[in-house]
Structure 1
Amino acid sequence: MSTAPENLAADESAALGKRLKDAREAIGLPQAAVADHLGIPRPSVSDIETGRRRVAFLELKQLAALYRRPLSHFSGDESDEVDATTQALFRTASGLSDDDRQQVLRFAQFLREAGPARAPSRDGTGAE
């Protein structure tokens, strides 16, 4: 019979595994590429993602760098969760060239500083 701490550890391993799998899939990497990067067999990546194998801290650090996410993303702290639109923007921007990502960043900063968009007027021009 499992004790409560064992159940908690299993739940946390499974949750971490899901976050790792989601991050891997978000950037389109196959498990084999992750295994090569870590120097472990591909089934070990599957075991990590399903919570059957614990991930060492150094492996987690390598995965965070590979997935271009902060370590805190994998901690399970809900304050670090990102909405679906932001995740979609990240996935899309990660496939762009460095120059194009800089353009997207400048445009996002412009939008943030411009404030909320005004509703269009009745004639569709946006002027009142």
Structure 2
Amino acid sequence: MTTINPAGDEAERRHLGEKLRQAREYVGFSQDEVATFLKLPRTAITNIEAGQRKVEALELKRLAELYRQPVGHFTGEEASASLPADVAHLARQAAKLSVKDREELGRFAEFLKMRGTTKAR
């Protein structure tokens, strides 16, 4: 028989809310902007981030898309082989670039990789 742990649920909800708040602040959105995106009152975002309101699955999916993170980032189900924080940061920044600029960034990354190989010799 499965036991229900309301205190554990509450702690998980607070942890999820904290991760969502950090992601929102990282990308520079206000609670009002997120609320408009989700078509919710701003107070709902405040309550979600405080762990006082449950997040619907579809809301979490849309928040993950908005914050450019996998849902698993918020639920703690990320694969252990996830990207290092600095690489993930670069990827998020690169995602904001145009296709042409991302191609140029890829060429620059190849240049840096080759330059590192020749220095090692």
Q: Normalized against structure 1, the TM-score is what? A: 0.72
SS of corresponding position for 1:117: helix
Residue 80 of structure 1: CA displacement?
A: 6.5
Q: Distance in 2 between matches of 1:71 and 1:89?
A: 19
Size of the aligned set, in residue pairs, is 118
SS in 1 for 2:40: coil
More helix by share: 2
For 1:18-97, what aligned pairs fall within 5 Å after superposition?
18-77=18-77, 79=80, 82-97=83-98
Displacement after TM superposition at 1:66 (Å): 1.4
Describe the shift of the 1:81–1:127 C-alpha distance in structure 2 as closer, same or farther (beyond 3 A). closer
Q: Which range moves more in the overlay, 33-42 or 76-85?
A: 76-85
Name the % identity: 40
Equivalent pair of 1:35/1:41 in contact (CA under 8 Å): yes
In the TM superposition, residue 57 of structure 1 has moved relative to its aligned partner by: 0.5
Deviation at 1:105, TM superposition (A): 3.5
Corresponding residue number in structure 2 for 1:123? none
Give ranges in structure 2 of 5+ residues lacking alignment.
Answer: none
Residues 41, 5 of structure 1: alpha-carbon distance in 2 compared, 3 angstrom cutoff: same
Larger radius of gyration: 1
Residue 99 of structure 1 is matched in structure 2 by 100
- Please say if residues 17 and 48 of structure 2, whose CA atoms lie closer than 8 Å, have aligned partners that are also in contact: yes
Would the alpha carbon gap of residues 127 and 111 (structure 1) be closer, same or farther in structure 2, given more than 3 Å must change? closer
Distance 1:22 1:80, change over 3 A: farther
Q: 8 Å contact 2:68–2:92 — kept in the other structure?
A: no
Supply the distance in 1 between the matched residues of 2:107 and 2:10 (Cα, whole angstroms). 43
Change beyond 3 A, Cα 1:34–1:77: same
Greater than 4 Å deviation, 4+ residue runs? 111-114
Residue type of the partner of 1:14? R
After superposition, give the CA deviation of every residue in 1:44-84 in whole Å (9 maximum; x if it has no partner): 11111121111000111111111122222222135275433
What is the TM-score of this pair, normalised by structure 2?
A: 0.75
Which amino acid is 2:39 matched to?
G
Letter in 1 for 2:21: K
